Amino acid sequence: MKESKFMERITPRTFKGTRDLLPVDMIRREELFDYVRRVYRRYGFLPLETPAVEYLDVLLGKYGTEGEKLLYRLDYKGGHVLALRYDLTVPLARVVAQHADLPKPFKRYQMQPVWRADSPQLRQGRYREFYQCDADIVGEEDRIADAEILAVIAELVDGLGMGTFHVRVNHRKILEGMVAAAGLPADAGPAVLRAIDKIDKVGEKGIESELEREGVPTEARRVLLDLLQHPSGGAAEIESLRDRLPDQPAIAEGCADLLRIWSCLDALGSGLEPYQFRLGLARGLDYYTGAVYEAFTDALPHMGSLAGGGRYDGLIAIFSGQDVAAVGATVGMDRILTALDQLGLNPPRSSVTEVMVLQWGEGSEPAALAMTGRLRRAGISTEIGYRSGKLGKQIGGVSKRGIPLVLFQGPEEAERGEWSLKVLSSGEQHTVAERDVETVVRRQIEAIAAEGSAR
C-alpha cells in the first residue's frame, strides 16, 4: 500500500476500558443476546431502546455520590449539559414519565451499552463501556412482580451452565432498621449502606474501618457488625431476624415483604434453592426502596455479581410527580462472557457459515452457484468459494476460517450426479447423490453440534 505524503499518520488505538469486538467475540455475544432475549420474552417483556445521551439533570441525584463521579459528561453547544447514560433504569423512569399512556403494568426489556468512568478490571469483566440487559416491571405493587424478576434472573443464570449459583436477597427497609437499631440517625444510612455493600471486597475489618472514617461511634459499629453475623438462608432466617428485633418496624416491614416474595417464588415451582437471604447485601444505588438482589456463581467468587436489581418505587415520581411502583434487574453481559471464558464454557467460533461450496476445475462455477442457492433456500448457512484452484489449498483456507464442512464436485462426480462432502474436524469424506445433499449436510451439521454439546 502506497504511503500518503499529505497526511500525518495517526496511531490506531482504543480508549482504556473500551475495546473492539471482532467477529470471534461478536458471534458469541450475539448468541448470548439471543438467549437472554428468548428468556425475557417468555416472561412477557417487551423491547425498548433509549438514546445513549441524556440531559445531565435527568441522571444527577439518582446514583449516589460515588456513582455520580463516574458519569461521562458532555458539553454541547447552546449551553446544554449532557451525559452518557450510566445505566438503563433511570432512562426507563424518564420514558415512563414522558410517555404516560404506556399500558400498565409495563414489562420491558432493554439491551444496550452504558458508560462509566470507572477503573477497568478485565479479570472481573469490568469495562468503561459495557452492555446491560435489563428486565423491569413498572406499575405493579404486588410482590408477585418481585418474584418474577428474581425468577427470570435465576433462570438466565441457570441456563448458562456455570454450575451452582446463588441469588442473594435483602431489603432496604431491613437495612434502614439496622441503622436505627444501631442508634444512628436516618441521614447516616447512605454512608452505612455504602460500607456494608463492600463486605465481599474488604471484609468486616474493612467495613469497620470505613464506618469509623464516616464518624460512626464504636457502639453503633459493634451493633452493625453483630447484625451482619446473622445467618444467611431462607424464610426461617428472615423470620428469626424479625423476631430478634421486634421493636424495629422497618425490619418487620422488610421481613414481611421478603416472606411474601419467598411464598410467590415457592408457588412458581422452580425451587427455592438458588435464593439466599443475606444481610450483607446493600446495592449502592440510591434509588432502591424495597427488595434488592444480586446473582453470583460459586465457581468464580472473584467475579462479583453477574446480575442484580431491586424495587425502586420512588424513582419515576422524580420525573412525573406521581408515585409509580417499579421493580427490575440488570444482567451484565460482559461480565457473563468473561465468566464463561474463564470456565471454558464459551469456546470461540470464528465463523457462522456451516458449509462452503468450492469451485473445482474449469466450468464448475454454474453448478457451485446453483448448489449454494439450494442450500441457502433450505435454511443452511452457506458460502461459495469465489475462484477455482487447487483443492487442497482451498480446503486449508476454509479450515483456517473455522467452517466445518466443505462441498465440492469434480468432473467425474458431475457426470454421475454426485458431490463430495468433507468434514474438516475428522477428515471424513462422503459421496452424496445430488438429490440428497440438503439432507446429508443437515445431518452432519446436527452431528457436529451434538459433539460440541457433549464436550
Task: Mark the binding-site residues, compressed into ranges.
Answer: 87-89, 116, 132, 136, 283, 287-288
Under 8 Å between Cβ of 329 and 153: yes
- For residue 79, how many other CB atoms are within 10 A of its CB? 6
CA-wise closest residue to 173 among 238, 222, 119, 95:
238
Q: Sheet containing 81-84: which strands, arranged edge to edge?
A: 53-55, 81-84, 73-75
Would you call 382 helix, strand, or coil by DSSP? strand
Omega before 105 cis (within 30°)?
yes
Axis crossing angle, helix 199-213 with helix 218-227, rounded to the nearest 10: 160
Distance CA 254, CA 292 (A): 11
Which residues are within 8 A (CB) of 319 and not within 5 positions of it... i.e. 6 or more apart? 58, 93, 94, 96, 97, 98
Q: How far is CA 4 from CA 10, 11, 30, 167, in A?
A: 12, 15, 38, 57
Q: 132 is written with which cell numbers?
A: 446491560
What DSSP element (H or E) covers 294? strand 291-297
The binding site for L-histidine comprises 87-89, 116, 132, 136, 283, 287-288
Would you call 408 helix, strand, or coil by DSSP? strand
DSSP notation for 34-92: HHHHHHHHHTT-EE----SEEEHHHHTTSSHHHHHTT--EEE-GGG-EEEE-S-SHHHH
Would you call 83 helix, strand, or coil by DSSP? strand
Distance CA 384, CA 407 (A): 9
Distance CA 415, CA 419 (A): 10
Query: Locate cell 424513582: which residue?
Result: 315
Would you call 179 helix, strand, or coil by DSSP? helix
Q: How far is CA 172 from CA 28, 90, 290, 308, 337, in A?
A: 36, 19, 5, 14, 30
Q: Which of the 8 DSSP states describes residue 232?
A: P
Which residues are within 8 A (CB) of 105 and not within 5 positions of it... i.e. 6 or more apart? 137, 138, 139, 140, 145
